[in-house]
């Protein structure tokens, strides 16, 4: 007699079809659950989704806005993908972005008018990148030196950075030309990134984001450093055994991802706002949304641009439903959270399958 | 001057209470071996649910119950993802925070600015409440403040003086060995993640039903993250959590009293976060030197030893 039962079996090498379909299904499941919640709360999900889709992808203007938000998400997401591969949890990209914005503003206002435009812009981006990297190096140091959990420390530094930006715009940096608004003075015109007609999108950040995707893909797949990162992520013990310096790897990837977040901050200043403003205006939660971006790309820097466009669209959609349906901006987080939850559950489906095992029973 | 001191102490205790409630819950979850970074989301969801129900039923207690349930519900998602499906605890916690903040925005959109009659108000304790200075500072609080103190002591006794508490602690230290003592690790961890969420929900309920009491978008204001840090600061010990939350409550209040002296409110607002960072370093170094380390299996998914 044969008895049979179902059991879960781990899959070590899931096929790309399996991965692809599961990811698509996960995203759809997350979005559908969100729609269900909207329905329960008395907001028509059809209207909400139509507004979100039309606002973010339905027009050239909307699509350019989506791309404007996808650029920082791509930059930050690609850096975070590398961090998360090493199981280093940089949750502080928001603060790193803000510090990049502060440094870029400082350089732009300080030396901007004395330099030719392109050099001034280069200086701003250099300063932004460096400041973001330094802000990320703090939790890296705390982790390596004292073993402090970097997820929590980097996150707390977000709040410190946001308060610091507010301190600057209400205090020492408050612009004399801003009619009492808490903004810094505007950057000299020569430092404004040229934008496409009728939008806030310019070609330079797009090129930067594309370059970052290519560069990080090459680093993570083709270099010794990329290999080290993977080994550290899979087993710090094995890494130590293989002579891979844990501390230096952690520092490098944190600094790298902080740098990318800092560049995103410089983009927001030079390309979008042209002055330092409220922290929540400089970044509409890019640092957090980029975490989802990295995960949707399955920690593969080469795919972050794709997931960044999706989440960029959701962010634009959040603005749209805020103005047209009177919902708080935070509501769009429902979709973000549910998509992430569905992806996490999907990861399990990708890595396991149900198999029916038949084995001879006790009867002989 | 004594008036001022009494008022500072009284407000510090009130400000520390939601931190303490949340920290107690996170201690339980982490002792069992599961880190939950979703406290901010569970708090926000608890706060808005509690407020909505209290407004509807005109009962503060039903509101609190709803807040507890709301926190536990969100935590259940985390429990399934991290314990059953062995998903990454950091990411799942972030998902919870995102979802909780989103839900609170959606549910709370029509509750902003509504006055609440059914709230927890300060008790009028005879004799003790009439004492000079300490009467106002210590004995004029709402019932939840004293309930939280009681819960702190009870949880300490539970963790350190009962057999089941020992099972919880060893689930976070060495789950494999614990399972050999016929403790169901998966079940235990699921349970304590959910209980932890219930505490986080209650902490949110305290904010919207007693501390403020109102619904304000974003009213948790990062307290959930301070809870996560306080858990480490307290070295996973309820009594230390009491001391730690009083310290942080004091910092929250202190910034308002220092503001008139011309110090930027934004710089003062950094203090709780900087203090938390300092506390993390202190906690991390203390735990390596004094042998009071984090639960050894914290953050590591447990897989039954079939393979």
Considering chain A, what percentage of its residues have pLDDT values greater than 70?
Answer: 97
Whether residue A5 has pLDDT greater than 80 = no
- Give mean pLDDT, residues A212-222: 93
Q: Cβ of B95 and A91 within 8 Å?
A: no
Helix, strand, or coil (residue A10): strand
Choice among A8-12, A245-249, B230-234 with the minimum mean pLDDT? A8-12
From B126's Cα to the closest Cα of chain A, the distance in A is: 43
Q: Cβ of A153 and B280 within 8 Å?
A: yes
pLDDT for B289: 56
- Give mean pLDDT, residues A175-191: 85
From B177's Cα to the closest Cα of chain A, the distance in A is: 22
Q: Which of A152, A288, A328 sits opposite B105 (nearest CB)?
A: A328
Q: What is the 3-state secondary structure (H, E, C) of B80-146?
A: HHHHHCCCCHHHHHHHHHHHHHHHHHHHHCCCCCCCCCCCCCCCCCCCHHHCCCHHHHHCCCCHHHH
Q: Which of B102, B264, B281 sits opposite A332 (nearest CB)?
A: B102
The C-alpha atoms of residue A345 and residue B146 are separated, in whole angstroms, by 40
Q: Which of A156, A341, A348 sits opposite B277 (nearest CB)?
A: A156
Instruction: With beta carbons under 8 A apart, name residues in chain B contacting A152.
Output: 37, 225, 228-229, 232, 280
pLDDT category, A351, cuts 50, 70, 90? confident
pLDDT for A357: 73
Distances in whole angstroms, Cα of residue A350 to Cα of each of A10, A23, A87, A233: 9, 9, 19, 19
Q: Return mean pLDDT, chain B.
A: 89
**Do residues A298 and A184 touch, judged by C-beta distance below 8 A?**
no
Who contacts B16 (Cβ-Cβ below 8 Å, separation ≥6)?
Answer: B245, B246, B247, B248, B249, B250, B252
Q: Cβ of A327 and B106 within 8 Å?
A: yes
From A68's Cα to the closest Cα of chain B, the distance in A is: 22
Nearest CA in chain A to B218: A330
The C-alpha atoms of residue B148 and residue B143 are separated, in whole angstroms, by 9
Instruction: With beta carbons under 8 A apart, name residues in chain B contacting A171.
Output: 264, 266
Instruction: With beta carbons under 8 A apart, name residues in chain B contacting A157.
Output: 273, 277
Give buried/exposed letters for B110-129 (b at 16+ CB in 10 A, else e). ebeeeebebbbebeeeeeeb
Query: Choosing among B88, B89, B94, which should be mutated to test the A contact, i.e. which has the most A CBs within 10 A?
Result: B94
Distances in whole angstroms, Cα of residue A241 to Cα of each of A137, A237, A245, B138: 25, 6, 10, 57
pTM of the model: 0.88
pLDDT for A202: 83
pLDDT for B292: 59
- Give mean pLDDT, residues A304-319: 91
Considering chain B, what percentage of its residues have pLDDT values greater than 90?
Answer: 58
pLDDT for A266: 95
pLDDT for B307: 36
Q: Please list the residues that pair with A356 across neighbouring strands.
A: A6
CB pairs under 8 A between A and B: 142
- Give mean pLDDT, residues A225-234: 88
Choice among A94-103, B50-59, B131-140, B165-174 with the minimum mean pLDDT? B131-140
pLDDT for A332: 85
């Amino acid at each position: 007699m044969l008895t049979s039962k179902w059991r879960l079996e781990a899959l070590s090498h899931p096929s790309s079809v399996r991965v692809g379909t599961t990811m698509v299904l996960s995203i759809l499941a997350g979005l559908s659950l969100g729609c269900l919640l909207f329905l329960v709360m008395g907001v028509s999900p059809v209207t909400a989704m139509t507004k979100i889709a039309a606002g973010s992808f339905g027009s050239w203007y909307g699509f350019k806005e989506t791309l404007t938000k996808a650029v920082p998400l791509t930059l930050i997401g690609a850096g975070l993908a590398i961090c998360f591969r090493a199981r280093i949890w940089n949750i502080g990209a928001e603060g790193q972005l803000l510090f990049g914005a502060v440094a870029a503003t400082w350089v732009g206002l300080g030396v901007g008018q004395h330099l030719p435009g392109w050099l001034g812009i280069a200086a701003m981006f250099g300063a932004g990148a460096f400041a973001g990297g330094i802000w990320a190096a703090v939790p890296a140091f705390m982790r390596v030196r004292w073993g402090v959990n970097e997820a929590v420390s980097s996150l707390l530094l977000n709040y410190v950075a946001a308060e610091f930006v507010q301190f600057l715009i209400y205090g020492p940096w408050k612009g004399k030309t801003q009619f009492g608004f808490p903004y810094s003075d505007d950057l000299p015109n020569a430092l404004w990134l040229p934008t496409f007609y009728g939008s806030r999108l310019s070609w330079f950040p797009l090129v930067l984001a594309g370059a970052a995707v290519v560069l990080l893909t090459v680093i993570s797949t083709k270099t010794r450093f990329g290999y080290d990162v993977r080994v550290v992520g899979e087993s710090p013990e094995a890494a130590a055994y293989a002579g891979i310096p844990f501390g230096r790897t952690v520092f490098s990837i944190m600094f790298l991802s902080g740098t990318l977040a800092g560049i995103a901050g410089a983009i927001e200043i030079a390309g979008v706002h042209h002055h330092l403003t409220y922290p929540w205006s400089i970044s509409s939660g890019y640092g957090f949304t980029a975490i989802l971006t990295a995960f949707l790309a399955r920690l593969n820097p080469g795919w972050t641009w794709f997931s960044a466009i999706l989440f960029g669209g959701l962010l634009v959609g959040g603005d749209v439903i805020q103005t047209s349906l009177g919902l708080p901006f935070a509501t769009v987080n429902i979709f973000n959270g549910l998509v992430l939850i569905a992806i996490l559950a999907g990861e399990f489906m990708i890595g396991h399958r149900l198999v029916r095992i038949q084995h001879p029973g006790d009867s002989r | 001057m004594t008036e001022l001191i009494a008022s500072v102490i009284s407000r510090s205790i009130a400000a520390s209470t939601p931190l303490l409630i949340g920290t107690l819950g996170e201690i339980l979850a982490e002792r069992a071996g599961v880190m939950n970074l979703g406290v901010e989301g569970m708090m926000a969801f608890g706060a808005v649910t509690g407020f909505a129900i209290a407004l509807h039923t005109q009962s503060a207690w039903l509101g609190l119950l709803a807040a507890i349930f709301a926190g536990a519900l969100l935590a259940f998602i985390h429990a399934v993802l991290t314990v059953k499906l062995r998903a990454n605890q950091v990411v799942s916690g972030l998902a919870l925070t995102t979802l909780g903040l989103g839900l609170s925005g959606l549910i709370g959109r029509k509750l902003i600015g509504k006055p609440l009659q059914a709230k927890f108000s300060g008790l009028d304790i005879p004799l003790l409440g009439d004492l000079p200075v300490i009467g106002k500072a210590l004995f004029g609080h709402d019932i939840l403040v004293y309930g939280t103190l009681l819960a702190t002591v009870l949880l300490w006794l539970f963790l350190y003086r009962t057999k089941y508490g020992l099972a919880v602690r060893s689930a976070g230290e060495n789950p494999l060995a614990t399972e050999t003592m016929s403790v169901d690790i998966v079940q235990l961890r699921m349970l304590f993640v959910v209980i932890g969420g219930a505490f986080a929900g209650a902490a949110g309920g305290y904010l919207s039903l007693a501390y403020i009491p109102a619904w304000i978008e974003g009213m948790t204001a990062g307290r959930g993250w301070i809870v996560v840090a306080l858990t480490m600061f307290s070295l996973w010990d309820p009594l230390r959590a009491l001391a730690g939350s009083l310290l942080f409550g004091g910092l929250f209040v202190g910034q308002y009293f220092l503001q008139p002296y011309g110090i930027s409110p934004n710089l003062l607002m950094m203090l709780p976060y900087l203090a938390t960072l300092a506390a993390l370093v202190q906690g991390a170094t203390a735990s390596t030197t004094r042998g009071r380390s984090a639960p050894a299996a914290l953050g590591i998914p447990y897989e039954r030893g079939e393979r």
